[in-house]
Structure 1
Amino acid sequence: MTGPPNKRQKREDYKKAQASIQDGNVALPKKKFYRQRAHANPFSDHLLAYPVSPQELDWTSHYPAFAQLDHANGTVSRMTHEVEIADIGCGFGGLIVALSRLFPETLMLGMELRAQVLDYVIGRVAALRAQNQSTETQHSPYQNISALRTNTMKFLPNYFRQGQLSKIFLCFPDPHFKQRKHKARIVSAQLNAEYAFVTKPGGMVYTITDVEELHQWMAKHFEGDEAGDARELWERVPDTDLHEDPCVKVMSEETEESKKVTRNGGKKFIAVFRRKPNPEWP
């Protein structure tokens, strides 16, 4: 006689049921079936598949509504848009979902290392697309968002060409409190140079955290010092200008972590940095 199903079995049964539902009846996935550790070690060997270059990635599978068809033979010829916004460590996808309607013609990509969390985001996007099918506009809602599993600390330039992105979001990254773990932080001199490589001049990097020490760390590394390269690449947007940016409002209110901090009465520390024009060669 078998006992009641355990948590793993319930989770697997739920995912199978979700996969078999017809598009018109898709419900949003339930987070309780996609729980995983809050953070993942970026230096672990995750056996990830990644493109050799941005040109090698098939974006049409992520954004089929933005793929241009060759009517002569019925095949996809090219994408009509490029990804312009990246949410690094997208978690459960609250940010890209909220930004989707704010920028309906801008392609956005959530990038997440944790497999279970990514499965939730993929299911969430699929459900939202199915629930909001429309012919009233050029593209139905949520067709402009997608997510994939990758390690951006290792492979970010494999996904985006130089100067492709207009916005990068770093929302509530793992603080890695211990000093020996600081090398795993998502902001560092080396990584900031990679962010500068994929961000167009005038593009923005948005950061938010509830850890003041991490906030100061990120600001220090983006602002740089007089002898550092960061000062040549980034400038901080004055805090007085942030209230005019709708992305700051969304980032502060719509992500799951931001809502959690609000519920717990915590503080949120925000800093935004603008990509400077490329410096001239000496």
Structure 2
Amino acid sequence: METVAEPSQPAGKVEKPKKADFRQRAHCNPLCDWGDCYPVSPDHVDWSVHFPKFFPSDGKDELLLNTSEYPIQYPQTSVRPECSGKAGCHQVRFLDVGCGFGGLLMALSPKYPNTLMLGMEIREQVTNYVGKRIQAMRQGAEGEPSHHNVSVIRTNAMKFLPNYFRKGQLEKMFFCFPDPHFKRKNARRRIISYGLLSVYAYLMSPGGLLYHATDVKELHQWMDQACEEHPLFARVPQEEIKDDPCVEAVTSETEESKRVKNLGRFGHDVHLSVFRRISPDG
């Protein structure tokens, strides 16, 4: 019998990472003291290593994810102002907190090609996957090189956000399908709470938008209540966000939203709210 040879791999083809190779526990305790490396202040973050196309750099596109496989060493002295975002026009403006496998970042990148976006994820293997996924896209895994405006870092966003970002820097923050932490004693681990919203408000520009989405109705009500009670956030009416491309990305293009839609026949749904960062006087 004549054997048929397997098709050879096209020369120069860039392979995207396989999600199955980076599986990890879904839950991680954000309150534990784990060995994390983080910058002293935003002046100590060299964004050129994460977005080499947007900053003065040596042009290298290497993985620096703050994981054990791809570590970062933050300097003890301030980096050049044009690389830390202190001077010049380039700063991270969109932040996906708990970015998971990076679906939102990948969806928003071509919609806002000149906006720098960062995903923060606490799980090591998941961060490695997103980093390699972005790197593959930058090397042309789907044709033309793309996604130069997105990056990812492993860190604990509940503890270290002010170490990365300046007051009023962020224009959009996303909290998509966070861990619900159902047990009453674990409610303090939830990523949106009245206290944490004060930190987010400090980092957001006036008029900036905070998006939160979940398929857990009780968690949605918790996050809604926290935002409604906070004096620096106001709900954005539905009619104002019906054409917002971020809403479509959050509810339809992330991995979790797709999972929820596949379960829709069993009564699952995506609960989404958007809140605007306002000044204390409204």
Q: Compute the TM-score of the two structures, normalised by the length of structure 2.
A: 0.82
Q: State the shift of 1:77 in Å.
A: 7.5
1:170 maps to what in 2? 175
Paired position in structure 2 for 1:202: 207
CA contact (8 A) 2:168 2:205 kept: yes
User: CA separation in 1, counterparts of 2:132 and 2:156?
Assistant: 20
Contact 2:168 2:204 in 1 (8 A): yes
Flag the 1:215–1:122 CA change in 2: closer, same or farther, 3 A. Answer: same
Q: 2:225 aligns with which of 214, 220, 223?
A: 220
In structure 2, which of residues 230, 255, 270 is the aligned counterpart of residue 268 of structure 1? 270
Q: Is 1:63 the counterpart of 2:51 in the alignment?
A: yes
Does the 8 A contact of 2:211 with 2:273 survive in 1?
A: yes
Worse-matched range after superposition: 124-133 or 170-179: 124-133
Query: After the TM superposition, which residues 1-282 of structure 1 pair with which residues of structure 2 at under 5 Å, given as runs?
Result: 24-68=12-56, 78-79=82-83, 80-131=89-140, 141-224=146-229, 230-231=230-231, 233-265=232-264, 266-279=268-281
Once the two structures are TM-superposed, the CA of residue 69 in structure 1 deviates from its matched residue by 5.7
Residue identity over aligned pairs, in percent, reads 50
Give the whole-Å Cα distance in 1 for the aligned partners of 2:216 and 2:53. 39
Kept after mapping to 2: 8 A contact 1:68/1:77: no
CA distance in 2, matches of 1:129, 1:69: 16
Q: Is the CA contact 1:113–1:149 (under 8 Å) kept in the aligned structure 2?
A: yes
Contact 1:201-1:278 within 8 A present in 2 as well: no
Kept after mapping to 2: 8 A contact 1:166/1:200: yes
Code of the aligned partner of 2:136: A
C-alpha RMSD of matched pairs (Å): 1.9
Shift of residue 45, structure 1, vs aligned partner: 2.2
1:104–1:141 Cα contact (<8 Å) kept: no
* Corresponding letter in the other structure for 1:254: E
Which amino acid in 2 is paired with 1:277?
S
Structure 2 Cα separation of the partners of residues 188 and 263 of structure 1: 29
Label 1:270 to 1:121 Cα distance change in 2 as closer, same or farther (>3 A): same
Distance 2:207 2:179 in 1: 27
In 2, the alpha carbon distance for the partners of 1:109 and 1:218 equals: 22
CA displacement 1:183-217 (0-9 Å, x = unmatched)? 00001111000000000000000010001111110
Structure with the higher fraction of residues in helix conformation: 1
Gapped regions of structure 1 (runs ≥ 5): 1-22, 71-75, 135-139, 225-229
Deviation at 1:106, TM superposition (A): 0.2
Q: Which runs of 5+ in 2 are unaligned?
A: 1-10, 59-79, 84-88
- Give the secondary-structure state (helix, strand or coil) at the position aligned to 1:219: helix
Counterpart CA distance in 2 for 1:77 and 1:267 is 45
CA distance in 2, matches of 1:83, 1:50: 17
Q: What SS does the corresponding residue of 2:56 show, helix, strand or coil?
A: strand
The count of residues paired between Structure 1 and Structure 2 equals 242
Residues 37 and 246 (structure 1 numbering): CA distance in 2 closer, same or farther, change over 3 Å?
A: same
